[in-house]
Structure 1
Amino acid sequence: MIKQFAIFLYLVSFASYSQSIYKQVTGATDSTDYYLEIGLFNKEDKQSYKKAVEFTEKAIDYAKSTNNTNKLADSYLQLANIYYDLEKNNLAVDYYIRAVNSYDKDNPKTNLALSYYGLGKCYLKKDNIKVAEIYFEKAAALYKLLNFHEAIELINLQKGIIKKEKKDYRNATYILLSVIKNLEDDSFLSTKSEAYFQLGEIEMAQEKYALAIYYYEIANTINDTDSNNIETTKKILHQLSVGHEKNKDIIKSQYFLKKYVTFSDSITSNFIRFDSENMIDKVQFDQQLKTIEQLDKEKKSQQKTLRFSKLISILSIALISILSLLSLSLYKNNKIRISTNKLLKEKNKELIAEKERAELASKARADFLSTVSHELRTPLNAINGITYLLLQEKPRANQLNYLKSLEFSGNYLLHFINDILEINRLESDKVDVETIDFDLKKLIDNISISFQEFIKENNIHCHLNYEAAVPSNLRGDPTKLSQILINLLNNAIKFSKDGDVWLSIKNIAETENSVKLLFRVKDNGIGIPKDKQKEIFESFSQGSVEVNRTYGGTGLGLSIVKKILEIMGSTIHLQSESGKGSTFTFELEFEKGDGKEVILDVSPAVKFLNEKRILLVEDNKINQMITQKMLEKRGISCVTIDNGEEAIVEAKMNQYDLILMDVHLPGINGTEATTEIRKFDSKTPIIALTAISLNENKEMLLSYGMNEVITKPFEPEHFYAVVTNYLSKPN
């Protein structure tokens, strides 16, 4: 497909010198053009690459001798195309670059774009996708400038293939379908065939074998009209065989495998090479083969004529009759097959449309939940903040119970919103696994301390079995491990009132640089019925309405655990019996750490905080009041601005020790304001305040120049710890 399109562009660019061989020989036209045409003729018509190289090199020599820069560039381009077809990528890259450097950049033409496109193909073959993308973009820009829209679609095809190689299947599918839609001209059937083939490869990679076969068959149907695409035919037949094998249809798999082998054998018989640059002339070989076959046929024919002349006549009549019946049968079967295929294609289109609708519905659900959870955080920050401030002002005894209830309700709602946001984030595939040093024993101790009150409330006997063979210093993602253990222990304690809970960690495999650990969380609580154990890991599922009413909770904890473990390459296992407790186990592999855990100093000296000035950028009046009050309680001076534009001016005119920047501001938002401030102030710490949504993450916000992120509604002690830590650092 790529080869045919390159030939098309090349013929267009060289149309100016397509004159007769006779005129070229007699000197009527430039000899460079003559050698180029002879080289192209040997490459495309005679498939004699050795002669094609020789004549193209003569064209290069002649162009150099006459100082004809444009012809020299054309000659480099033709030689690069020949080496690309011979799969000599390094030589092809060399001559494509020579061509690019020889063409006039101020007056670009099609051949310059074709040179960039050729470089992109070469680097794509070398699996250097970044460089390939650069050259494809340059080619696309030129084709767009020259209004060569068909060529732009071919480059879009390459972009789709690059997205597929990066495993970005959603965008790859979108690009390839756009290419198919935009190329209505039958002159580019090979491009459509390749696009459908790549769609099949995407579905194959996702183990959607039926849909992959569907795309392969369309590609094969289109490709049958273009018999010159030998390599395309081979790879389509091969993938059809593999696809049917994966789809458990062995008969069809063998059918396409036989076609593939037969086709490959026929190609091999037509092209015999002594080495990579020398090939026997195909026409001469075919003539020799036909002569041998003809002599053999004549010999056999004479023998048969002498011995079985009458029998041959009878068999011929019988054969004609049989062939006539077979032809009639094939005609009827073909009509049935066409009708069936048409119906199948319509059904497949319906299935694809249903799939797209389901994906859109899923995205809409995720966006809705993310938006709701995000919008709830701002008023919830006000509720929790005011509650905290009131509790700090020594309320009366009859008010204290109300405030404690309000604090509990606010925290419960915050945990519920966090669980919704977490499950949406996990389902959106926007989660990365960290690899940092941490102390496992200290992490387990911190989790145990955080559950002390809950353990006391439920009268639980908690047992920790940390084997001596388990190393303490590890390298991995402690945050996600904490999420898993906290959710499992929370359930075990909640559903085992007046009972026992066990947490055990065991070393099951170890190498010089890594260790595999088995984690087990066990309880003797209410247990889970057998018929509910599969659905217990689904979102918002707690087994029954009675359990939810009795014990409360969101029903998201186990779903979060399952999804986090899947991201980390592991699975959760459950053993449970109603009334006898539950046991959850999972395995995780960690690298061994070097013991250099980075610990944030959250309790620096605060005696000089009354000398510090903070700029608070916050548009919500209630949040302004809460944050300012909290800072003033620690003796910190605060100036409040409600928009990003004024914040930039204020930061430029006055010196502050710290800036608290709300992300979602009217006009210029917090990230844009931070970017502007960083242009003239790179030292003042800037901490983001955000009701973080599904589309935001800490790494994204830090990339704008922020130093830290505090999530709304924030816990007061965490807020004070982060702010004090940055104020204590010298600028």
Structure 2
Amino acid sequence: MPTQIRYFIIKILLICCFFSYSQTSEFEENIQIKDSIDNYLLNAYRSIDQAQLKQALFNISLAKEIAMDDQDRSYQAKTSLVLAKLYSQLGDLKKAEEQVLDAIKIQKEDNDKVMLTCSYALYGSIATQTKDYKTAEDVLKKALAFTKNNHNEDEEGFINLNLGILSLEQGQPEIAIQYFNKGLPKITSLNQFYNKAKLYINKAKAQLSLEQYDEAKESNDLSMQIGKKMGYAVIRSECYKLYSDIYDKKEDYLTSLQNLRTHQKIKDSLFNTNKEIIVQEAGAKLNLNENNVLIEELTEENIQQQKSLKLGRLTTILSIALITILSLLTLSLYKNNNLRARANELLQNKNTELILAKENAERASEAKVQFLSTITHELRTPLYAVTGLTHLLLEESPTPNQKEHLNSLKFSGEYLLSLINNILDLNKLEANKVEIENTSFNLKKRINDVLIALGKSANDRNNKLHYEFDESIPSKLKGDPLKISQILINLIGNSIKFTQKGDIWIRVKPISKSENKVLLNFEIEDNGVGISEKKQQSIFENFTQGSVQINRKFGGTGLGLSIVKNLLSLMNSEIKLESKLGKGSKFLFNLEFEIFEDKSPNYAEEAKRIDYNILIDKRILVVEDNKINQLITRKILEKNKIKCDVADNGDIAVNKVKENTFDLILMDIHMPGISGIEATKQIREFNKEIPIIALTAVTLDDNLDEFYDNGFNDIIPKPYKTEEFFTKLHKAFVKNQTTA
């Protein structure tokens, strides 16, 4: 006999001797046995939930061995039940079904209805996975009836969970959600964390099939929180897969791909790659055939002989098992490599799709920028006619009714110009082309002008505007008054739009002040319809409003708050929102200004000091292709006794300047034939003295140097204010006379 075998037998004899001297009473021993089995099964159950399947198998094998030794049928049934759960997790549904049916058979014979409820619930889950929906429905409803008849309601939540999964598998997501909602309170009260996580993820699947994407994400988030907290790797893997599906439906392909990668990574680290090996070990460790029962019935005299025989067989079995394991491992690696290859191919395809999508998005963005630049020019040209004709008509002593209509027309023109500027500003902000001006202005007067402009809109909706301005704020500040006005117009206009018969407060107060700087707090508060918490984060995005119903009811483009957010960001500030649905909203932001005394020209004041006699009998050539604009500019000039000639395009303008004498040229930029810039360059070749002013609807942002470099003396943007128009004409004539 080999030495190792002799040591093994001696060790067994010593253990037997030890137990023979340390026996307790039969009653105490039975309690210890049952406690041991319960502990092993509980540890196995937890290990299955946490995907620690080898640990689960170890505990089940110990419990099975003790139950067989003690010949306790009820614990044999419990062990078979946990073993069925293990096989179900491994994907071997046939063996899972065999084990749960063994448990049910024993429990029926023993009339153990409490445990029979658990077995039926698990059997229903296994039948659902095997697509045997009729059997699944029958046993689950039978289990649900047992919980009520036997006052065993602990399994009620788990049964409703499986009824929900069954409904989901049968394409009935609404019914599935009803079962999930019904089972959730019981599962929560019993701290069944794994069942709760499984319930939320299946509820998310049902909501996804109903295209309730936000609700599906919320349910999946709850499942993920439990999975992370309790260490349920399988749950986390399924959650990432579901995130991938949700974002794919929402067409956020990059986020979908990231979640799919995380899912694959967790899946690779789980038991999937070696579950065939665990199944093989389960068969070897548990030895589930009937021979095990016969061995336990051998007489004491044959035990030593049987052990020697087992030892010989064990060596053979281990050799065969080792070869089998190596073979299975090789096969598993082969399958895993194939799986990785398919995953890599899928990722490559997704990556190609994302690259194409990115290129298409960039081309679309470029096309949008070009389109907006073109359309704003085309919109400004007819708007010049609207504002110019309105100005002329207002100066011709209209009747009170006509004046009211003309003022409405003026307001509409200014509103249209504001809308065009909004679109243009959005285009600039997205292209990072907006620059902050730094000029002096009177903040109190600026806000008061905004309130006057918006007063009619407020009165139309029976709203009261309350203006609270701290008088300690310096009268002159240095900053960007146009951007401030734009921010306030959008915010106050937004409050007016969403408030009916209410109040709107505009508050400005200092936070801190130094020798040359002051930090101010702005508040715009209303008691209107308010904004829900769900929409408060997205309300500052482009083209976003509270809902489709709000858009239909109140109108608007959804650009205002987006522009406000971006403008404040450029000014090193941020917008804050406090709102409750039905009670109103409050927008808050802080801005820092320099305390400054502005010395730059004021066109309105300068226009009052102009000597209009200088303009009399001056000859001006108006180069403009639009007939209406020609008429308006000509009338404005001739009204001030200026002689005017017109050229329809750049070629005609060059020839007229060659053949005639003019005191000044007003040059449009975009015209048929040669452009205004090209015409100016040609004129400068033979006449370098005549003042040329660009009268244009082109957006003046980064193009000023180009105008001056090509021979222009000044620029008047259309639509213009008459004060600026005549101030610049007067300066050009005075400068030309001084030079001459």
Query: Normalised by the size of structure 1, how large is the TM-score?
Result: 0.49
Task: Name the structure with the higher helix share.
Answer: 2
How high is the TM-score relative to the length of structure 2?
0.48
Structure showing greater Rg: 2
